[in-house]
Structure 1
């Protein structure tokens, strides 16, 4: 669970920064508001290399950062573009303040890697 109570006052949207490995992946997050109510939303991330460089972002992802290669342990540079994505914003319930986000306990597809959470 990620505590967002200190940074979410007045927020209307929530987004995540991250990527997937071993293929694209998606799962359900649970948003908990300060009044105790909850909301469920699905987040998804494209594979960090977009399938070895031949794919397009999925799930409404936007490329937030791209590198020209990835490091391979003991093997040097693998010359495939590698990406970190921003998810499509999730609309928060009007008039409520977000308390926390619980990340998926299971995902469909590969593995999800979340690096940051943002509210606006």
Structure 2
């Protein structure tokens, strides 16, 4: 299946890390915990969250102390009814997504394109 065709049929929900997706994928929802500083360190700073889980940290363990875990089934029921934010991020320089691009090329067994 081509990337374009896959992008037309797929909805992506990220939890606790806002990462760059190929531009063909427009239906992306980013979920972050209100106090998820660890996830913020692993996220692109130019992407904003589509949904912020109140009083939640980085954990997806619903038994996390003080109720700070993200309850994934509850959050998915909430966000899957939403529409993704159009054009959330301007493309950043290549270096910003270098770790993702390098990992993807290694997994695919292809050569990394620098543009």
Does 1 or 2 have the higher relative contact order (CA < 8 Å, sep 6+)? 1
The alignment's TM-score, normalised by the length of structure 2, stands at 0.29
Higher strand proportion (structure 1 or 2): 1
The alignment's TM-score, normalised by the length of structure 1, stands at 0.28
Higher helix proportion (structure 1 or 2): 2
